[in-house]
Amino acid sequence: MLVAAGSGHTAGPLGMADIFTALYFRILKHDPKSPEWEDRDRLFLSNGHICPVRYATMAHAGYFPVEECLTLRKFGSRLQGHPERERLPGIETTSGPLGSGLSQAAGYAYAARMPARPNGRSGGDKKKFRIYCAMSDGEHDAGNTWEAAMFAAKNRLSNLTGIIDRNNIQIDGYTEDIMPLEPLRDKYEAFGWHVLEVDGHNIPQFIAMCSEAEAIQEKPTVIIAHTIPGKGIKEIENDFRWHGSPPGKGPTDVIPAEEQGKVFLDELRTLGGKITSEHQ
């Protein structure tokens, strides 16, 4: 998708591939044939720039043809560089401005918990669906995120699960150099959240953490998922320079620009050479 588009973010989508696979194929209550199903779980993507992995997962889940993925960032495409709610079925919110997603998700979770209005007008009716919010670690530099964290804890939004992509990079460098986030767990606990930590590439462990979050009744839960940006391509793993660079336009000190697309795709398809051509 990124090679075809010639623009977009590489590191984050690869790092979150395992988590999005778990969400769409084991965790979320959803129906690709009925994207507006009232009782579906809601997934808010705050760090909208990693949307290629969401689009790819949604396509394989049946929301739209896989072939449409190659229209990413093209003029008129439903697959914009940041998700647009009214353009693509199954997208809950338009995202892009970092730091706003948790506020949107917390507001939705609050509304879902509201009782029905006695005059018959629409209300939350204490809905049973869950709200998930995927966030980057770097966007925790934004104060809006912490305002939302206070709001969710104050209102005991146990129907809300936050998922932090703790990959330790942002566009200008490593998070702990730009604006240190640690101790991140302690901060969320101090704000009144139930906090879990997980290897973001261990799918069974992540599924178990989401199940635990459902069992917490008195407060919201946040899962700090430790991930490797650029996971699966050894030449770019943990390199912040690939945060916002697509293959062909990234750093050339390891792989020449004209070779990046082929080299990276071959590495992903063969799991770094572990799978030979006859096994593909």
Q: For residue 265, tell me if it sits in a domain.
A: no
For residue 269, tell me if it sits in a domain: no
Spatial CB neighbours of 77, under 8 Å, sequence gap ≥ 6: 68, 71
Please report whether residue 278 resides in a domain.
no
**Three-state DSSP class for residue 207:** helix
Domain that holds residue 98: 2-226
Pairing of strands 169-170, 173-174: antiparallel
- Residues 40-65, mean pLDDT to the nearest whole number: 98
Asked if the structure places residue 98 within a domain, the reply is yes
Q: Is residue 261 part of a domain?
A: no
Token pair of 269 as six digits? 């398809």
6 Cβ contact partners less than 8 Å away, ≥ 6 residues apart: 73, 246, 248, 249
Q: Is 252 contained in some domain?
A: no
Per residue in 151-195, pLDDT (tens digit) is 999 999 999 999 999 999 999 999 999 999 999 999 999 999 999
The DSSP symbol for 116 reads P
Residue 253 lies in a domain: no
What span, in angstroms and rounded, lies between the C-alpha atoms of 175 and 8?
A: 20
> Whole-structure pTM over 0.85, yes or no?
yes
In a domain, 254, yes or no: no
Residue 32: CATH number of its domain: 3.40.50.970
pLDDT band at 278 (very low <50, low <70, confident <90, very high): low
What is the reported pLDDT for 277? 60
pLDDT at 262 over 90: yes
Say what the pLDDT of residue 125 is. 64
Domain count for the chain: 1
